[in-house]
Amino acid sequence: MYVKKVFNKIGLLTSGGDAPGMNAAIRSVVRTCVFYNIIPVGISKGYDGLIKGKMTEMDARSVKGIINKGGTILKTARSKDFRKKSGRKKAFESLKDNNLDGLIVIGGDGTFTGGLIFNEEFDFPVIGVPATIDNDIFGTSHTIGFDSATNTVVEAIDKIRDTASSHNRLFFIEVMGRDAGHIALNSGVAAGAEEILIPEENLGLDRLIQSLKRSEKTGKSSSIVVVAEGDKTGENVFQLKEYVEKHLSDYEARVAVLGHMQRGGAPTCFDRVLASRLGVKAVESMMEGEGCSMVGLNNKDITLTPFKNAIKGITKINTELLKVSDIMSI
């Protein structure tokens, strides 16, 4: 906690993987700054742009017409130089040369790790806004972009099911989530998938085979299996296809890798509202003396979580949804 001070300029950047709703968060931070007579300064291309001094003063009109746009107008990048102390020193000098009093970073775990180290080294106020489609940040029930990504996945699965049922096919659909299965689990339940494979649960290949056999016996002519890219079966999605075809010769299997389409598109209403709330809280928290925390959504309230907790904490999968998935797959 810092002593309350008058902020004249606050910088903001987006870092790491992009997520739908980042622009809505940028808009919120900029307009909240303007509301409190603070000059918002946009930093292009994340921490790399911070090191190189790529900064532009913004105003309320700078962010018109972006709340419904995917991506980020500030661009995003991962910075190798910021991982070095010499790079972070250049970033600090860049902030001071441009008379910035605080920094708001929009991104995920890596973004917050950088913010924490930077704060500890230079005692410079940094507030984080969680934006990642994986929803794997501790200290918030929802990250910006997660709701949009799951809706994109559900829409894609609905279309794939049309062709799967027309040809009596089994589809393995890979979604993002190397370390967290939130997208796979939520979209799988919403789209009526027969099986959902996620990193948090090692269901095993034998169970998958038994489940598909059961589906076939009960008269299902096509099946959808949603696979998080980091699931613990030990097989990638193409190996899963080959394994099933080897053990279930009656199945004609196909693979669909949804890939980066999950990051694109217009943010949902939920993500736009969440981004707007988090942006306001980020600026107000900094004005109140906070300087090494992340804003997040908890029980419908916007709260603060120290960076250390947000980075080290582990998000838990919704076990109720696992049960729901099992029941719905009969």
- State the Cα–Cα distance between residues 311 and 320, nearest whole angstrom: 25
Contacts of 83 (CB under 8 A, 6+ apart): 114
DSSP SS3 for 162: helix
Q: Which amino acid is at 190?
A: A
| Three-state DSSP state, 103 | strand
Whether 179 is catalytic: no
Joined tokens for residue 62: 């700078």
Distance, CA of 86 to CA of 80 (rounded, Å): 11
Nearest to 252 by CA among 158, 167, 173, 156: 167
Catalytic residue among 48, 101, 109, 134: 134
Count of helices and strands (H, E) across the chain: 11, 11
Q: Label residue 132 left, alpha or beta by phi (over 0 means left) and psi (-120 to 50 means alpha).
A: beta
Q: Where are the beta strands (DSSP E) in the chain?
A: 9-14, 39-43, 55-57, 102-107, 126-130, 169-175, 195-197, 223-228, 252-257, 292-298, 301-306
The DSSP string of 46-59 is HHHHHHTT-EEE--
Instruction: Give the tokens for residue 299.
Output: 């029980």
- The H-assigned helical ranges of 171-303 are 182-191, 205-217, 237-247, 269-287
- Which residues are known to be catalytic? 134
